[in-house]
A and B are shown apart, each in its own frame.
Chain A
Amino acid sequence: MKLGVIVSLPLAAAALQTVLVPALGADAHSWWAFHLAWHGVGLVGCFGAARMFRPGDLLWRAWALTGGSFLLPILYRFGVGPDRTWWLTRMPGFESFDVVYALGVNGCATLGAFLFVRAFVAAGLVFTVSDRQRRVAAAASAAVALAIGIPVLFVEVRDALGQGATSDALFAAISSLGDVICFALVAGLARIATEFRGGTLQFTWALLAVANLGYLLYDATMAVVARIPGAADQTILATEAIYCAACVAAGAAGLAHRTALRAAGASRTPAPGLNAAA
């Protein structure tokens, strides 16, 4: 697949969902199916990229963890079903499991994003901007993440404490905390994309930055509209379009990496031994 097509996938998916949902009916079954589809795109993209590396390689771990953050929601959705009435919801201790699930998904996503930022330096590459400029960019990103995420997190933690430790609010609070940390890493991902500008690897890191930004915007938007009567229904197409684009951006990042590695690996020089065998 061409990189230009891959880069346009998040917007194309969001547009497709925005057109199809009103036609199909914006009910729990539609959202269940669409979430499943976008997580599937994320999973395929991330695990496809992981397969280009040896198990244990730093970027194999990064892709496997990010892919895990899509695999878990897919398994979860097949457990709970569109109306949260399927077999998993009838298991004893389901509410505790819900919280463990939220920790697992956000732990995978956060650690994966951290490893993508770490890969540049671990490879021995150096940033062309000064350390000071890099720290300023990282601090600005962290400040924006906290400015957006902390008020949301505060409200959700307050609700969680009010509703008991295994409530939906605790689930949402864990999700927001994970997104705040991921967003704080966005500056690093964007910085690396800038360092790779003009090269095929820029698309991978740029799409990862877009995905992490999307998750935080989605959580922040959901937290705000949930407190305005009637707003959730009016804005659901827009908020779900953000979530769709973020999931597909992560999958597209994997596809972009796979495409870039295939192009780099298409050596013009035959491997040793091939000439002898011919």
Chain B
Amino acid sequence: MPHVEAPHPSEIIVRELVPFLGPNTARTAVRTFAERALQLRPEQLDRESAQRLVDALRPMLRTILGEGAAAAVERDLREALR
């Protein structure tokens, strides 16, 4: 059976943000918030720190999407990171 590598946590978060933020801003947001809130580069994120990154992204999501949509996106992010 071919070995399939699981996507990196940062890639999972980017993938969830792309539909509304677009690929450029989704990628920039992950990098900016990871560096700003966790002092980590996206490639240094593991599953546990990625969950903390989702916490850090919450105010941004609420500002742009409003509380309801932001909560739904956050749920999807956490589920995808499990």
Contacts and interface: CB of A to CB of B under 8 A. Distances in A.
Interface of A: 52-54, 57-60, 119, 122-126, 128, 195-202, 260-272
A13 to B, nearest CB: 26
Interface in B45-79: 59-60, 62-69, 71-73, 75-76, 78-79
Overall SS of chain B's interface: helix
A215 B28 CA distance: 33
A201 B21 contact: yes
B22 A54 contact: no
B7 interface: no
B20 A199 contact: yes
A116 to B, nearest CB: 11
Contacts of A119: 63-64
A15 to B, nearest CB: 30
Given A54-B66, A59-B66, A264-B69, A123 B60 contact: yes
Contacts of B21: 196, 199, 201
Contact of B72 (A58, A122, A260, A267): A267
Interface of B: 18-26, 28-29, 32-33, 36, 59-60, 62-69, 71-73, 75-76, 78-79
B25 to A, nearest CB: 5
A271 B66 contact: no
A57 B25 contact: no
Given A200-B19, A264-B19, A265-B72, A122 B25 contact: no
B23 A201 contact: no
A123 B22 contact: no
A52 B63 contact: no
Contacts of B23: 198-199
5 contacts: A124-B60, A128-B25, A199-B26, A267-B71, A267-B72
A266 B36 CA distance: 29
B20 A260 contact: yes
Contacts of A58: 63
A128 B22 CA distance: 12
Nearest to A261: B69
B22 A269 contact: no
B24 A195 contact: yes
Contacts of A269: 72, 75-76, 78-79
Given A267-B76, A271-B75, A59 B63 contact: yes
B76 A268 contact: yes
Nearest to B69: A265
A119 B66 CA distance: 12
Given A124-B36, A263-B20, A272-B75, 14 more contacts: A52-B69, A125-B64, A126-B28, A195-B25, A198-B18, A198-B24, A199-B19, A199-B21, A202-B22, A260-B20, A261-B69, A265-B65, A265-B68, A271-B75
Contacts of B63: 57-59, 119, 122-124
Contact of B59 (A124, A197, A265, A272): A124
Contacts of B59: 123-124
A159 to B, nearest CB: 43
Given A123-B60, A126-B32, A201-B22, A266 B66 contact: no
